[in-house]
């Protein structure tokens, strides 16, 4: 057995042993960032901390919101905390609520005493700041994840991606103030590309469009070539995100009769966090 097969085997074993669903603890974020406001930390028992805790607990216990966008503000300047949690547009309400709940606890663990933080799970993300974050496009921090495998025919694939993305981008941007999300597929020769795009729904149609176009424009040149022509990629910023795979990974209305399986943990994942410091972490 060569070493790459051994690594794969060990990885699978690791996944089997430590799969999050087998443990009661909250999952780890796939990515998080708490360095964007490192000027100062809030102190324990400060007004800012009380506001943040109260906001996060409202978010965690909310039973009204069923469209996947939780945006809240608590307190007054200079201790005002603004936050949102955004669920992926296709996830079920219970999956969303439990993800948001987890994120409200996890963010305090991984970013203790931070004025600002951003945490990303597969099904939801959370962000808080003392700055105003609603109605503004924020492209930092930007997070990239890519499968290492290449598509069969990059030219054909890119054309399909372009066509699909143009459609999805327009559809998501024209969503309402509760949800701006679109999913779809496009045949790419022997492969089929499946993609989702999403903006926080507080953005205007124009803001959402330009955020997504900006993200899409990054593809050819970003991330040391780790994104272009790969079979699975996620590009994530606080304001908008996109993902494609060559297999179906999202829940669509067509699948109600035969629910799709959740995406298997991708093999050969590369994780690149461009901002603030370029790092390369090998996932499995």
Interacting residue ranges for ligand NAG, rule: CB under 6 A = 18, 20, 23, 25-28, 37, 39-41, 44-45, 60-61, 71-73, 77-78, 91-92, 95, 98, 101, 105, 112-113, 115, 123, 130-131, 134, 177, 184-185, 192, 201-202, 248, 251, 254, 259
Closest CB 186 distance from ligand NAG, rounded Å? 8
What count of Cα atoms within 13 Å lies in the side-chain half-sphere of residue 185? Answer: 15
Token duo for residue 143: 């997070």
183 or 226: whose CB is closer to ligand NAG?
183
73 or 267: whose CB is closer to ligand NAG?
73
Token duo for residue 102: 């987890």
23 or 279: whose CB is closer to ligand NAG?
23
Closest CB 84 distance from ligand NAG, rounded Å? 8
Closest CB 26 distance from ligand NAG, rounded Å? 6
Beta strands 233-236 and 240-245 are: antiparallel
Token duo for residue 219: 């593809």
Per-residue DSSP letters for 168-227? HHHHHHTS-SS-EEEEEEEEETTEEEEEEEEE-TTS-HHHHHHHHHHHHHHTTTSGGGTS
Closest CB 3 distance from ligand NAG, rounded Å? 24
Residue 282 phi/psi, 5-degree rounding, is: -85, 125
How far is it, in rounded angstroms, from Cα 157 to Cα 159? Answer: 5
Closest CB 176 distance from ligand NAG, rounded Å? 8
How far is it, in rounded angstroms, from Cα 190 to Cα 157? Answer: 9
72 or 274: whose CB is closer to ligand NAG?
72
194 or 223: whose CB is closer to ligand NAG?
194
103 or 142: whose CB is closer to ligand NAG?
103
Classify residue 1 by burial, with Cβ atoms within 10 Å: 0-12, 13-18, 19+.
exposed
Closest CB 4 distance from ligand NAG, rounded Å? 23
């Amino acid at each position: 057995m060569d070493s790459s097969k051994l690594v794969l085997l060990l990885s699978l074993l690791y996944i089997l042993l430590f799969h999050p669903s087998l443990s009661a603890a909250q999952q780890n974020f796939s990515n998080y960032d708490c360095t964007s406001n490192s000027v100062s930390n809030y102190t324990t028992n400060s007004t800012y901390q009380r506001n943040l805790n109260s906001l996060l607990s409202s978010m965690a216990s909310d039973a009204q919101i069923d469209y996947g966008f939780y945006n809240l503000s608590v307190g007054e300047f200079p201790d005002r905390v603004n936050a949102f949690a955004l669920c992926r547009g296709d996830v079920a309400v219970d999956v969303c609520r439990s993800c948001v709940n987890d994120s409200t606890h996890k963010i305090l663990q991984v970013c203790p005493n931070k004025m600002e933080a951003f945490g990303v799970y597969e099904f939801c993300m959370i962000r808080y700041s003392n700055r105003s974050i609603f109605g503004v496009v924020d492209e930092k921090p930007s997070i990239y994840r890519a499968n290492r495998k290449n598509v069969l025919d990059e030219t054909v694939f890119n054309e399909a991606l372009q066509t699909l993305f143009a459609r999805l981008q327009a559809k998501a941007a024209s969503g309402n103030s509760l949800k701006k999300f679109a999913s779809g597929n496009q045949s790419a020769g022997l492969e089929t590309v499946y993609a989702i795009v999403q903006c926080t729904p507080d953005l205007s149609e124009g803001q959402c469009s330009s955020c997504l176009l900006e993200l899409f424009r990054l593809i050819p040149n970003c991330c040391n070539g780790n994104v272009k022509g790969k079979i699975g990629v996620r590009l994530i910023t606080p304001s908008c995100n996109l993902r494609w795979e060559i297999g179906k990974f999202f829940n669509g209305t067509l699948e109600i009769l035969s629910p799709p399986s959740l995406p298997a943990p991708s093999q050969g994942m590369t994780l690149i966090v461009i901002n603030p410091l370029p790092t390369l972490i090998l996932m499995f």
